[in-house]
Amino acid sequence: MPRVYLSLGSNVEPERHLGAALDALAVEFGALILSPVYESEAVGFAGENFYNLVAGIDTELGVGQLAERLRAIEHRNGRCRGGEKFAPRTLDIDILIYGDQVGSVDGIELPRDEILKYAFVLRPLADIIPDQRHPVVGRCYRQLAEELALGRQKLWPVPFSWRPAATPDAATPD
């Protein structure tokens, strides 16, 4: 069963939406590997700050099936697709790494290029798999995070407490 790493972000009631997303992921996939949560300024538009984290899951779903499940979780949390790329988000969940897959799989480019562009993706990923190597550039995530110009991309850890929902219907998968 491949290990998959997901990037989660929100700048609209982020504690509520990220908590709901983690509940849904836990119901769907079981135990989660979680990075610390970071706050960062909005990129590409003027808006509220984002909360971001990375979650690791194990799944037998294919990339396309997983992407559909993640879109359903986003939709249940008020995400409307089709708007501007850089805009406020109730919830954004992206597949960063899917096992050792490289290239376009079911229309999704793996590993996701945002890993190498944005501190709010790379830093939490490096926190949970620091010694794993990026399959394209060959350097470990810790090294990549140290090299990324964090001064240009401000982010800072924030306290965030999550416990799985007590009731199964709080995050019923589709």
Q: Tell me, yes or no, whether 174 lies in a domain.
A: no
CA torsion sign for 45, 6, 67, 113 is positive
Q: Tell me, yes or no, whether 173 lies in a domain.
A: no
Structural domain containing residue 15: 3-165
Q: Tell me, yes or no, whether 134 lies in a domain.
A: yes
Q: Which residues pair with 56 in a beta bridge?
A: 5, 33
- Buried-exposed string 22-57: b where 16+ CB fall within 10 A, e elsewhere: bbbbbbbbeeeebbebbbbeeeeeeeebbbbbbbbb
Domain count, the chain: 1
The rounded percent of the chain whose pLDDT value lies above 90 is 71
Please write the tens of the pLDDT for every residue from 146-158.
887 655 788 899 9
Please report which confidence band the pLDDT of residue 170 belongs to, taking 50, 70 and 90 as the band edges. Answer: very low
Q: Tell me, yes or no, whether 171 lies in a domain.
A: no
At position 10, the amino acid (one-letter code) is S
CATH at 155: 3.30.70.560
Q: Tell me, yes or no, whether 35 lies in a domain.
A: yes
At position 11, the amino acid (one-letter code) is N
Region 41-49: what's the mean pLDDT? 79
Q: Tell me, yes or no, whether 25 lies in a domain.
A: yes
Q: 34-38, 41-45, 69-73 — which is least confidently predicted?
A: 41-45
What pLDDT sits at residue 151?
Answer: 59
